[in-house]
């Protein structure tokens, strides 16, 4: 027995071995490459073939992209520079068109001495949306500026008297006061009707005259800029941001209306959503630019950009409603039952329990709709508004740049990519923050 016990003890280790670093071939970049790129003969062949393809692709593209033509003043001068470099007339990009016309691509025909106004408006836009997008890092006390921003932006971009956007803001304040007072006196429906009526009366019959009177007393004015001078990415961002910010609340209302038990409300919402989704955006833009004037009183000056803003917002809202309706449908019935068990009324249940969860589920679809709306702003070139793509045609019409294509499209594509990629990354950040995934 003792011999057997002694033999057994010989194979029992009494001390721990010190930890050793893993082999260098299994960690780091080398380990990742072995596991993902060279894990077998087939993957190795694919990796090598891909590297060869990428090499030939870059060998052809890089010399074209790095052509030293930024100082050229025409396509002819570009070709002379390329010939002098021994590249060949068509062997490099003509970046002179970008260095000469980048301001026009960004600002359209906006007066050059007033460029500070759209730049300031863009900076203020980021300040205004920061307490909404980054509530963990920015104080909610800035939300008052978020409400003021649309009126400040209108004044900065279009100019004129400050009193006109101030009176428009006053209409919302007075309408909210009437809604609150009417709600206390006659209930929610009476409050809503009284608030809307008071605001409409203020805007139609009082605001303009009062603004004119105040302008004659204290002139707070900027030089006026006409809508036809807007263009480029200034126009694209203006239309895109307006449609994005307007479509989300409108889409929520339409989604709730489509799921309503009230037949009239449900029918109106379904009819609106299906009509808008069944008609191309180009058709709606034509309606906004031409047919809408037929139904307005003679002499009515309804700004073309405002008309396009309204149409794009309605178009985006219809798609947004379906995205949010999908989020509402994905919620388990128990959430609705829990809201009922807590004794919450319809609006409190939606605000506190149902809608936050539905919006979390719908984040990818909502952001996809936002990105699609922003890219759809290029369609306004059909109705003679100079968006970035419309401006490329105007630039090519100049004899100095006739024949330029790729350089302009690459510049426009890169700027669009920056905006759309930023929205996509923010949606991923939001999903991680709200933990929308299933664990």
| Same domain for 326 and 268 | yes
Q: Quick check: 71 pLDDT over 80?
A: yes
| Same domain for 404 and 316 | yes
Compute the Cα dihedral for 206, 211, 213, 217 and give only its sign: positive
| Same domain for 372 and 231 | yes
Q: Domain residues for 192?
A: 160-222
Q: Tell me how far apart the alpha carbons of residues 107 and 398 are, in angstroms, rounded to a whole number.
A: 18
pLDDT band at 269 (very low <50, low <70, confident <90, very high): very high
| Same domain for 411 and 379 | yes
Taking residues 23-34, report their average pLDDT.
Answer: 74
| Same domain for 313 and 212 | no
The 10s digit of each residue's pLDDT in 215-249 is 888 888 899 999 889 999 999 999 999 999 999 99
| Same domain for 340 and 251 | yes
Whether residue 93 contacts residue 67, with contact meaning beta carbons closer than 8 Å, is answered with yes
Residue 406 lies in a domain: yes
Residue 178 lies in a domain: yes
- Lowest mean pLDDT, pick from 21-30, 349-358, 400-409: 21-30
| Same domain for 279 and 179 | no
Give the pLDDT score at 439: 45
| Same domain for 270 and 240 | yes
| Same domain for 311 and 180 | no
What CATH number is given to the structural domain containing 365?
1.10.3720.10
- Structural domain ending residue among the three candidates 176, 201, 222: 222
Q: Tell me how far apart the alpha carbons of residues 116 and 122 are, in angstroms, rounded to a whole number.
A: 10
Residue 410 lies in a domain: yes
Residue 122 lies in a domain: no
Give the pLDDT score at 321: 94
| Same domain for 421 and 283 | yes
Residue 129 lies in a domain: no
- Structural domain ending residue among the three candidates 171, 190, 222: 222
Give the pLDDT score at 296: 66
Among candidates 412, 430, 314, 414, which has minimal Cα distance to 365? 430
Residue 302 lies in a domain: yes
Domain tally, the chain = 3
- Structural domain ending residue among the three candidates 222, 237, 264: 222
How many helices and strands in the chain, by DSSP H and E? 20, 2
The 10s digit of each residue's pLDDT in 163-196 is 999 999 999 999 888 888 887 777 777 888 888 8
Taking residues 90-97, report their average pLDDT.
Answer: 84
Whether residue 386 contacts residue 229, with contact meaning beta carbons closer than 8 Å, is answered with no
| Same domain for 291 and 427 | yes
Residue 246 lies in a domain: yes
pTM of the entire predicted model: 0.84
Residue labelled with tokens 């759309």: 420
Residue 214 lies in a domain: yes
- What is the helix, strand, coil percentage profile of the chain, to 5? 75, 0, 25
| Same domain for 348 and 244 | yes
């Amino acid at each position: 027995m003792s011999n057997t016990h002694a033999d057994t003890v010989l194979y029992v280790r009494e001390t721990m071995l010190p930890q050793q670093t893993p082999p260098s071939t299994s960690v780091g970049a080398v380990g990742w490459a072995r596991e993902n790129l060279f894990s077998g003969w087939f993957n190795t062949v694919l990796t090598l073939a891909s590297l060869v393809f990428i090499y030939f692709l870059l060998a052809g593209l890089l010399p074209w992209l790095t052509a030293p033509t930024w100082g050229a003043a025409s396509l002819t001068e570009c070709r002379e520079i390329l010939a002098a470099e021994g590249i060949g007339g068509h062997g490099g990009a003509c970046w002179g068109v970008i260095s000469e016309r980048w301001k026009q691509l960004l600002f359209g025909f906006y007066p050059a001495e007033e460029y500070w106004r759209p730049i300031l408006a863009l900076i203020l836009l980021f300040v205004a949306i920061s307490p909404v997008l980054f509530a963990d890092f920015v104080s909610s006390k800035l939300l008052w500026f978020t409400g003021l921003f649309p009126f400040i932006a209108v004044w900065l971009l279009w100019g004129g008297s400050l009193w006109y956007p101030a009176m428009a803001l006053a209409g919302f304040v007075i309408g909210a006061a009437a809604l609150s007072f009417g709600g206390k006196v006659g209930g929610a429906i009476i409050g809503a009707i009284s608030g809307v009526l008071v605001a409409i009366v203020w805007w139609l019959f009082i605001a303009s005259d009062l603004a004119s009177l105040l302008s004659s007393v204290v002139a707070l004015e900027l030089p006026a800029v006409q809508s036809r001078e807007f263009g480029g990415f200034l126009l694209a961002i203006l239309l895109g941001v307006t449609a994005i910010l307007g479509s989300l609340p409108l889409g929520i209302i339409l989604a709730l209306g489509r799921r309503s038990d009230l037949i009239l409300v449900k029918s109106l919402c379904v009819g609106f959503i299906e009509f808008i989704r069944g008609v191309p955006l180009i058709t709606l833009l034509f309606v906004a630019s031409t047919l809408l004037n037929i139904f307005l009183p003679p002499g009515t000056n309804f700004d073309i950009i405002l008309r396009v803003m309204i149409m794009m917002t309605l178009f985006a809202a219809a798609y947004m409603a379906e995205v949010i309706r999908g989020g509402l449908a994905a919620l388990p019935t128990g959430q609705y039952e829990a809201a009922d068990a807590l004794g919450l009324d319809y609006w409190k249940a939606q605000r506190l329990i149902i809608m936050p969860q539905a919006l979390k589920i719908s984040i990818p679809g909502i952001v996809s709709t936002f990105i699609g709306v922003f890219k759809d702003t290029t369609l306004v070139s059909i109705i003679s508004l100079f968006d970035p793509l419309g401006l490329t045609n105007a630039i090519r019409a100049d004899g100095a740049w006739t024949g330029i294509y790729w350089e302009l499209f690459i510049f426009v594509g890169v700027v669009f990519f920056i905006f759309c990629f930023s929205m996509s990354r923010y949606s991923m950040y939001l999903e991680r923050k709200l933990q929308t995934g299933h664990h």
